[in-house]
Structure 1
């Protein structure tokens, strides 16, 4: 077999190969010695597996699934395997290792009556009894003196080592990293990710560190310079590992909800993940805010504003929350209210990248090319993104002088970004063509999107396209089938883009 075909990269590919979900595969790698390897170079948990090793594990040459779970298709019960090394797979987090008796467990064979015990065996038993008694005396004495070391005799129901409190110095560093993440500053986000990555080397799988890392990676795509694909992949990896040890982790569930919506384009699954996060932690303002964001993008305005009301009550005055709320108002067609709030935020919080992102698009939508260029440049400077900064400089030079050249640059970039994606989305390219009044390009872009089987959210874009071209039968025919399914109240009927 070719080496490229032999290797499976990433938890998703491994899970698909053995017919399990990713959380189960991660748990089996940690607890059941599923042969998964980590690539060197950090804690992003870039993993791979070899098909031959997985096949051997499934055949029963490795540890079997835990009791109570059916084995993968085509597998057979595994024989008990001794663990000669007693250590986890290199690169994987440490886990308690238990020699499994196979699945399903077989009844123990009947024991034959034993012969009379020899004098030698009786002497050996007495020596063992004395040793055990001495050991118990030592334990009881240590307990009486308060010097019993945690972990020698685990207490029933005690937390796992990963969930134990961090040492004070590490705890302070986690809190500082969380403060950096909350700032939404590109520089501080980068510092937080570096700190948390270093801490995770000393406390693998600690839920507080994993949760903060997942959130940090996710926000770095919007407020930092981390590319979307890389940020989402790393956030997903941390969140899945956290969910494998803490199934009701609200931070893990909401991060996976973001990934499901924005990368995987699966609104129903995203909604289900967010509702699980909210059920697990009803007072989690970020879960409410991020759920509101996807509802707004999907055009479900009433539900979005409902969740924003809860988020604002839980986290009043948070500028990044108010920026998202303003964007939801614009998506819903409340242009003046949205722009007023965003301008107030830009004055009070000039270093908040998302505010300038929203203001740039709003300026473009009403034909203000100079305003678009200015806010685009400010966003690029705040994010410290070289590629975005280079594009912004070109736009700012062209905006006041040459509309045709500006349109050509913007459309070329929008189309190239959509075509470069494994799962293309031409909604921004269609919006750009619509803003500049290029009907031919708009129709071509809509037709290309339909041919690709694309499903869009982007309610703010699609509604304005529908409004501008409401008397054009070709546009009004091509646009509605691109709508995504609803997040709340799944229906067999496609929703229609509003033309308000």
Structure 2
């Protein structure tokens, strides 16, 4: 059985790696129980009720004999299992800190991501040649954007540095390749390079739920719905109780146009975790699409609060005040604010302001923003924006011609 011991004197700790357990089970089918039906997506699996009863009972018995807790394959937190790359730092103290950091990363909260960054920095300082810690640090910086502890420019810049450091040590590190694929799409808009990085990451670690998850998210945004859903479902199969994956599966339904189903699922996920920024962000857009201005303002404000976005918080406060006086004034107020930001250079990318202008039924502003985006040679992902604009302006030839010039090329590989 592939169980490892962290080096050190006296009573040590052991851990088991998911990918090695899978290989062991494949080579020893007599140890595997009958296949179990996957748990319903809304119910997180209990540590006492694993899918593979036979080998897990044996592993837990071994852990009990040794008096240890495995932090690798069986660390449960919000139904998630942290992915621990093969190998650990040789120093036992750094190995322990590294495993703690991976568990912090898996908990997905502002405090836990901040803790993961601090611990991983300790590891990279103490063992600069340990590539997985640099790659995990890149992942943590990327998540720090979502959980409110770091701005996009700072987070993406630091994630790039950490991923580059990992690849200098190991050019095939799958987590570092994944992080760079994420950065290339969301920060640089380089679709071809993003796909190249993700393809290499999957080739190096085909069972990484996080890689399939992030690639699926990108493909959905780009409008490659079939390929994106395939990646998200693969991620869900690998981590069936992951709330972030469930959120993005609901979002994929919205992006495709199933607005009511997406709303129901996102509202249920918001109730499950009110501080999950992505669910609040997605719901704000769903409510805007449905014309629910009060719901839009509430979710917009919650997302800004969770992610500590100063500009969006100011918008939320202004819209909340306008909502109390005249709901019809809310969206025109936001359009004016966004156009002022574009003129000053504070805001550079235009899909979201264009959707707001369309929701405000402001054709003039919509044409103005679309024309500016075309003049800038923008290529939009934001497939949900393009779908929304197309539905609202179908038959309006000047608007539709401009939208057609902003559609992105497919990223899906044949």
TM-score, scaled to structure 1: 0.62
**In 1, Cα distance between the equivalents of 2:214 and 2:341?**
24
Task: Report Cα offsets for 1:355-383 as digits up to 9, x if no partner.
Answer: 11111111111111111111122223333
2:15 aligned residue: none
**Cα deviation 1:158-206 (Å, max 9, x = unaligned):** xxxxx76243332222222222222221222222222322332222242
Which of 163, 181, 186 is the matching residue for 1:262?
Answer: 186
**2:289–2:359: 8 Å Cα contact kept in structure 1?**
yes
| Pick aligned residue for 2:303 from 361, 364, 379 | 379
CA contact (8 A) 1:331 1:460 kept: yes
Alpha-carbon spacing, 1:445–1:275, altered in 2? closer, same or farther (3 Å): same
Matches within 5 A, 1:248-397: 248-397=172-321
Which structure exhibits the higher relative contact order, with contacts defined as CA atoms closer than 8 Å and separated by 6 or more residues?
2
Name the larger-Rg structure.
Answer: 1
> What RMSD, in angstroms, separates the aligned Cα atoms of the two structures?
2.1
Q: Shift in Å at residue 417 of structure 1?
A: 5.1
How does 1:77-226 map onto structure 2 within 5 Å? Answer: 165-226=89-150
Give the unaligned 5+ runs of structure 2: 1-86
Q: Check if 1:468 corresponds to 2:392.
A: yes
Alpha-carbon distance between aligned partners in 2 of 1:419 and 1:210, rounded to the nearest angstrom:
39
1:405, distance to aligned residue in structure 2 (A): 4.0
Shift of 1:216: 0.7
What is the deviation of 1:243? 1.2
Q: Is the 8 A contact 1:424 1:454 kept in 2?
A: no
Residues 183, 388 of structure 1: alpha-carbon distance in 2 compared, 3 angstrom cutoff: farther
Contact 2:110 2:148 in 1 (8 A): yes
Q: Tell me how far 1:334 sits from its aligned partner.
A: 1.3
Query: C-alpha offsets along residues 213-236 of structure 1, whole Å, 9 cap, x if unaligned?
Result: 100111111222311122111111
| Shift in Å, 1:211 | 1.5
CA distance in 2 between counterparts of 1:205 and 1:395 reads: 50
C-alpha change, 1:282 and 1:457, in structure 2 (3 Å) is: same
Query: How many residues are aligned here?
Result: 328
| In structure 2, distance between residues paired with 1:421 and 1:295 | 28
Shift of residue 404, structure 1, vs aligned partner:
5.1
Equivalent pair of 1:181/1:188 in contact (CA under 8 Å): yes
- Taking structure 2 as the reference length, what is the TM-score of the superposition? 0.75
Provide the C-alpha distance between the structure 2 equivalents of 1:247 and 1:420, rounded to a whole number of angstroms: 41
Question: 1:230-276 CA distances to partner (integer Å, 9 max, x unpaired)?
Answer: 21111111111111211111111111111111111111221121111
**Aligned counterparts of 2:374 and 2:241: Cα–Cα separation in 1:** 41
**Correspondence list, 1:57-96, <5 A:** none
Q: Flag the structure with higher helix content.
A: 2
* Aligned match of 1:242: 166
